[in-house]
């Protein structure tokens, strides 16, 4: 059988967060910062878990990849429980990832009768972040950089819909973002046109996403964020 944990129970799967590819998105949900769901084979002593990240709109599989108590039931669980939820969210498909090479092989076997597409993710690392600081690049006239905080978000002088949309992509509420996240935006004529907000975070790390309105791109705005 497969069970869903309540948010206050998410910590039960912390011992399962081991493997080659345990990324920030998984930990952010399990540690309770970012919205998501957690499903397990056993509520009291989980050995295998499937973690849904709302921001990514996908699942991560962690723990024992050869657990029949989980693997034998997951296809039916997806059809009966996950598929209806995905439809409610407006999703016709979703991604899923293993957290080790062993999990990748297991998932291919479990879902061999489903229409799935396999892709790879490339991660680039910079050796010296100091080389990527662009403080010397000025903003064009009419643009200004602002920190996204409670004062700014409550100021009706500015049109911040673009920033708020970015926040809701990753957070349940503006209040949660203000409590845990960090953000900056660039305004043009008092309207937000570029934003950089925390998308995922845990106690000692965070991940941010930048986006710019199409008509304001190719002006190096993102380099100031």
Q: What is the pLDDT of residues 12-49, one digit of tens each?
A: 999 999 866 888 899 999 999 999 999 999 999 999 99
Please report which helix (H) or strand (E) contains residue 152, including its range.
Answer: helix 150-153
Look at the block and give the residue holding tokens 């997806």. Answer: 78
In the DSSP assignment, the letter for residue 78 is: I
- C-alpha to C-alpha distances, 61 to 81, 99, 189, nearest whole angstrom: 17, 6, 46
The model's pLDDT over 178-220, given as tens digits with 9 standing for 90+, comes to 999 999 999 999 999 999 999 998 888 888 999 999 999 988 8
Same fold across 3-110 and 129-224: yes
- Residue 194 · residue 221 · CB < 8 Å: yes
What length does the chain have?
225
Question: What is the percent of the chain where pLDDT is above 90?
Answer: 64
Q: How far apart are CA 106 and CA 96, in angstroms?
A: 12
The pLDDT assigned to 206 comes to 87
Question: Among 152-156, 172-176, 201-205, which is the least confidently predicted range?
Answer: 201-205
- pTM for this prediction: 0.84
Q: Which two tokens stand for residue 220?
A: 């190096």
Please report which helix (H) or strand (E) contains residue 209, including its range.
Answer: strand 206-212
- Kindly list the domain boundaries of the chain, sorted by start residue: 3-110, 129-224
Q: How far apart are CA 76 and CA 91, in angstroms?
A: 18
Strands 58-63 and 95-98: parallel
The matching CATH number, chosen from 3.40.630, 1.10.1240, 1.10.10, 1.10.287, for 3-110 is 3.40.630
Compute the average pLDDT of residues 1-14. 95
The model's pLDDT over 69-80, given as tens digits with 9 standing for 90+, comes to 999 999 999 999
Q: Which two tokens stand for residue 154?
A: 């409550």
Q: Which homologous superfamily does the CATH classification assign to the domain defined by 129-224?
A: Gcn5-related N-acetyltransferase (GNAT) (3.40.630.30)
Residue 51 Ramachandran class (φ > 0 left, ψ -120 to 50 alpha, else beta): beta
Q: How confident is the model at residue 137 (pLDDT cuts 50, 70, 90)?
A: confident
For 168, residues 6+ apart whose C-beta sits below 8 A from its C-beta are: none
């Amino acid at each position: 059988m497969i069970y869903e944990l309540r948010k206050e129970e998410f910590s039960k799967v912390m011992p399962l967060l081991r493997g080659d590819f345990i990324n920030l998105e998984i930990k952010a949900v399990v540690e309770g910062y970012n919205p998501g769901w957690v499903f397990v084979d056993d509520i009291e002593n989980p050995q295998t878990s499937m973690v849904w990240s709302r921001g990514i709109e996908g699942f991560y599989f962690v723990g024992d990849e050869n657990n029949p108590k989980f693997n034998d039931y997951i296809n039916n669980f997806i059809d009966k429980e996950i598929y209806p939820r995905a439809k409610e969210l407006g999703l016709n498909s979703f991604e899923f990832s293993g957290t080790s090479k062993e999990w990748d092989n297991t998932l291919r076997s479990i879902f061999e009768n489903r229409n799935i597409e396999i892709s790879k993710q490339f991660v680039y690392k910079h050796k010296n972040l100091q080389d990527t600081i662009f403080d010397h690049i000025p903003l064009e006239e009419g643009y200004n950089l602002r920190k996204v905080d409670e004062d700014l978000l409550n100021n009706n002088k500015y049109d911040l819909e673009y920033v708020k949309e970015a926040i809701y992509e990753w957070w349940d509420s503006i209040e949660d973002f203000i409590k845990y996240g960090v953000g900056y935006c660039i305004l043009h004529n008092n309207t937000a046109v570029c934003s950089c907000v925390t998308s995922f975070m845990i106690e000692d790390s965070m991940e941010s996403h930048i986006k710019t309105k199409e008509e304001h791109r190719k002006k190096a705005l993102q380099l100031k964020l």
